[in-house]
Amino acid sequence: MHKDELLELHEQMVTIMNYFKDLEQVDESLFDPYEELDVTPADVHKSKSEHKHAVFVLGNALANAMSEDEFSDAGRVGKRMKELAEDAEKKL
C-alpha cells in the first residue's frame, strides 16, 4: 500500500472513530491508545511506518468498540489488529 492510500485509510478510520465516540454506549477510553500516539491523517510528514502503526492501533480500538467478546468476529479482528500493531511498533 502506498503512503497516500494509507493516509486515506487512516482518515476514513478516524471518521468511523468519531462516529463511535458520539454513541453513548461506547466507552471513549477505548481510543486513548490511538490518541496517545499523536499521529493523525493530517500528519503527512510522519513516516509510513508511523501511520501504519496508528492504523493498526485504531483498528484494534474500533474492533473492540464493535465486539461483544473476544470470540465474536469483531473480537477476533481486534486481537489480530493488536498483534499487527505490536509488530508495526517494533519496526518504528
pLDDT, tens digit, 9 for 90 and up, residues 19-28: 999 988 888 8
Q: How would CATH label the architecture of 3-90?
A: Up-down Bundle (1.20)
| pLDDT(3) > 60 | yes
pLDDT on residue 24:
83
Q: Where are the domains of the chain?
A: 3-90
pLDDT on residue 70:
61
Q: What is the DSSP string of 37-65?
A: H---TT-TTS-HHHHHHHHHHHHHHHHHH
pLDDT on residue 75:
73
pLDDT tens-digit map of 41-86: 999 999 999 999 999 999 999 998 887 656 567 778 888 888 999 9
In whole angstroms, give the CA distance from residue 30 to residue 33: 7
